[in-house]
Structure 1
Amino acid sequence: MYITISPQKLGGAFSQSAGDFVSYLEKENQGKNLLEKEYFFNQYGDNIRPYEVIKEIDGNTAKLKLKEPKYYSITINPSQYELKHIHNNPEKLRAFVRETMKEYADSFNREINGRPISVNDIKYFAKIEHERTYKSNDVAIRENKPYSNQIAHLKNELRKVERGEIPGNTRQLENEIQKLVRDAPYKIRGQVVEPGMKKEGLQSHIHIIVSRKDASNIYSLSPGSKYKASEVEMHGKMVKRGFERDRFFQNSEKAFDKMFGYNRNYVESYAARKMLSKDPKQYIISLRSLGINEKKIAFNLIRQTGLQLPVLHLPQSKVGFAYKQLKKIIEAGIKASSIGY
């Protein structure tokens, strides 16, 4: 489970309205009939139309400055293991989103009129998408790039030979191209993976657009607050402030596990990914200490790239150590036949 929170993109090239973002989220509905389309939903209903989302979000921005985000984007990315566990059921995904938004509200260290913030104070709209495409920064694209570049060069050369522009052996060029295709590390149905190609397997994920202002359009609720949960004195009284991201991420995972009886492996957890980013050595120690069955599943998860290891903002020596140790453990497990393919 990967959950991200991003503020609205601002600046001269971006609109103050939520319209562009909502239109982007409609991309999978293009060419589909009314029964096939995925609509927006929120805590209270389904089948919400795009124009309603834009109207509600754009109309809920009282007293926000031009340089302040009017909304935040939350993306929930279940793993293929999690999606398989719930049979990729859209109704279960919607139920999970509604539970997750309760956790979102609970993660604000704020009060409104003396009471804790609840999901009823949050104005949001969510949309399920079922497809993903490869982007230029994906591992598969980066590792395929030397092969893709050479294939493109040879195909261009082949066309020139066929047109008689340059001398050459077409059969030899075709054989070289075929060899490069065979050797490329990532392929889909015999084709080298390139940007824009659809990813295989279960790819369902959820985009949530959540207003910066509460449902009453009075209070500003920012999950991007630089303050962790704390209290500060303002105008002679103590005021709560902050948003607990760690709590939100961890409790969302727990909600999924409880709702659907999912037995989460250590390497799937937010706590483990955070450990990897902060203390790779301790992460490796924790991985080694897993029981035999859990370790086998953990190795499979790592090897099958269902897990996207986060970018590590660490000294290169620490990053190198972590990945070298991880590689050694995986290779040792393969040799000992402790993990399967």
Structure 2
Amino acid sequence: MYITITKQKTDGNFAQSVADFVAYLEKENQHRSMDDLEHFFDQYGDGISKEEVIQEIDGNTSKLKKTEPKFYSITVNPSAFELKRLQNPSQNLKEYTRDLMKDYAAAFNREINGRAVTIDDIKYFAKIEHHRTFKGTDHQIRENQPYATKILELKKQIRNIEQGKAQGDIAKLLRDIARLEREAPHQQNGQRIVQGMAKQGPQHHIHIIVSRKDMSNSFSLSPGSKYKSSETIFNGKAVKRGFDRDKFFSSSEKTFDKLFGYHRNYAETYQARKTFINNPKQFFSILSGLPTNEKNLAFKLLRKTGIDYPVMNIPTNKVQLALKTLQRLKKGLDKAIQSGSIGI
């Protein structure tokens, strides 16, 4: 599970309204029939129109400054392994979203009128999407880039020859291009993966728009708070503040596992990611101690990050990895996490 929480851009396209972001989330509906449209939904309702989403989010910004985000975007990306557990992706992910947002509310260290924040305080709208395309940050695009650059240069040479600006063997240049197309490390259906190409396989994911203000438009609930759990004095009173992302991310896994009977491998857990970042040797020590089947699955999952594990000699009894190897491995996995290839 890879979940991101992103604040609204306050210096760009989405400055004072959610309208542009809503329009972006409508992109998959452009080529669908009226009966096949994927609508927005919230905790209790389905079939919510884009106009209602814009009206509700834009109208729930009382006392927020122009420089403050009016909403946050939560993107939930189940892995291919998790998606295999779903019988009806649209309905299952909608059900999961509603339970997930209860976890979101519970992660706030805030009180509203003397009580803890609940799901009924959260104003949000969500939509399920079913397709993805390769982006420039994906490791497949980055690692294919040297080949793309050479191919572009060869095509430029061919144009110059055709226009009489240079001399050369066009047939040979075309053969060189075909060779580079084949040699590019990342292919899909026999073609070099390029930016904008649709990804194969199940790509179902969730976009959630969450208002910065609570349902009453009176209290600010920011998941971007730098505080996990603390108190401050406001108008002479002790006020709780903070949002516990660790709690939210961990709960999101448990909620999915319980809802769909999913057996989560250690390598898929949020705790594993934190351990890897903070103590890679401990991470591999734990992996080496897993039962054989679990360990094999763990490395299968990690290979999907784009790291070439087969060339590494990772002992199963004692973990004696050189520091240089650990640094290379950590750098590779960090990039993969950031690109959305893997993450919690």
Could you state the TM-score of these two structures normalised by the residue count of structure 2?
A: 0.87
Does the 8 A contact of 2:14 with 2:21 survive in 1?
no
**In the TM superposition, what is the alpha-carbon distance from 1:188 to its structure 2 partner?**
1.6
User: Shift of the alpha carbon at 1:230?
Assistant: 2.1
**2: CA distance between counterparts of 1:306 and 1:235?**
52
- Return the alpha-carbon distance in structure 2 between the equivalents of residues 35 and 183 of structure 1: 44
Matched, 1:107 2:124: no
Q: Is the 8 A contact 2:139 2:306 kept in 1?
A: no
Q: Which amino acid aligns with 1:181?
A: E
Deviation readout 1:66-88 (Å, 9 max, x if unpaired): 11111111110100111112146
Q: Output the CA distance in 2 between the equivalents of 1:109 and 1:306.
A: 38
User: How many residues align structurally?
Assistant: 318
In the TM superposition, what are the counterparts of 1:174-253 in structure 2 within 5 Å? Answer: 174-253=174-253
The 5 Å alignment of 1:190-339 reads: 190-305=190-305, 320-324=325-329
Most deviating of 290-299 and 234-243 = 234-243
Gaps of 5+ in 2: 308-321, 333-344
The one-letter amino acid paired with 1:45 is G
CA RMSD of aligned residues (A): 2.1
Task: Tell me how far 1:96 sits from its aligned partner.
Answer: 0.2
Give the corresponding residue for 1:2: 2
Aligned equivalents of 2:128, 2:12: Cα separation in 1: 29
Structure-1 separation of matches of 2:244 and 2:86: 28
Distance 1:147 1:194 in 2: 11
- TM-score under structure 1 length normalisation: 0.88
Structure 1 pair 254–162 and aligned structure 2 pair: CA distance change class (3 A): same
Task: State the SS of the aligned residue for 2:228.
Answer: coil
Measured after TM superposition, the shift of residue 156 of structure 1 is: 2.6
- Unaligned regions of 5+ residues in structure 1, if any? 308-316, 328-341
Give the letter aligned to residue 222 of structure 2.
S
- Partner Cα distance (1:214, 1:230) in 2: 20
- The CA deviation at 1:167 is 2.8
Match for residue 46 of structure 1?
46
Instruction: Give the equivalent residue in structure 2 for 1:331.
Output: none
SS at match of 1:127: strand
Matched with 2:131 is 131
Q: Aligned-pair distance for 1:174?
A: 2.0
- Give 3-state SS (helix, strand or coil) of 2:31's partner: coil
What are the equivalent positions in structure 2 for 1:49-88 lying under 5 Å apart?
49-87=49-87
CA-CA distance at 1:275 after TM superposition: 1.4
Q: Distance in 2 between matches of 1:75 and 1:103?
A: 15
The superposition leaves residues 17-38 of structure 1 with CA deviations (integer Å, 9 ceiling, x where unpaired) of 1111111111111122111211
Q: 1:61 to 1:285 in 2, by over 3 A?
A: same
Preserved CA contact (<8 Å) 2:72 2:212: yes
> Could you tell me which residue of structure 2 aligns to residue 336 of structure 1?
none
Distance 1:107 1:306, change over 3 A: farther
Query: Aligned partners of 1:166, 1:235: CA distance in 2, in Å?
Result: 76
> Could you tell me how far apart the structure 2 residues matched to 1:255 and 1:265 are?
15
- Are the equivalent residues in 2 in contact too, given 1:227–1:241 (CA < 8 A)? yes
Report the residue type matching 2:107 in the other structure: S
Match of 1:33 in 2: 33
Q: Aligned with 1:257: secondary structure?
A: helix
State whether structure 2 residue 170 is matched by structure 1 residue 170: yes
User: Amino acid of the residue matched to residue 47 of structure 1?
Assistant: G
Q: Percent identity?
A: 55
Residue 219 to residue 326, structure 1, CA distance change in 2 (3 Å): closer
CA distance, structure 1, for counterparts of residue 229 and residue 292 of structure 2: 39
Structure 1 position 13, deviation (Å): 5.2
Deviation at residue 171 of structure 1 after TM alignment? 2.6
1:85 aligns to what SS in structure 2?
coil
Structure 2 distance, partners of 1:320, 1:14, is 42
Q: Which moved more, 1:4-13 or 1:39-48?
A: 4-13
Partner Cα distance (1:83, 1:284) in 2: 26
Q: Counterpart of 1:35 in 2: which secondary structure?
A: helix
- Bigger mean CA offset, 66-75 vs 28-37: 28-37
> Which residue identity does 1:229 align to in structure 2?
S
Does the residue aligned with 2:253 lie in a helix, a strand or coil?
helix
State the distance in 1 between where 2:12 and 2:138 align: 28
Alpha-carbon distance change, 324 to 238 in structure 1, aligned in 2, over 3 angstroms: closer
Query: What's the CA shift for 1:9?
Result: 0.3
Any idea what SS the aligned residue of 2:208 has? strand
Q: Aligned pair in 2 of structure 1 residues 324, 89: CA closer, same or farther (>3 Å)?
A: closer
**Larger CA deviation: 35-44 vs 226-235:** 226-235
Change (3 A) 1:127 1:319: farther
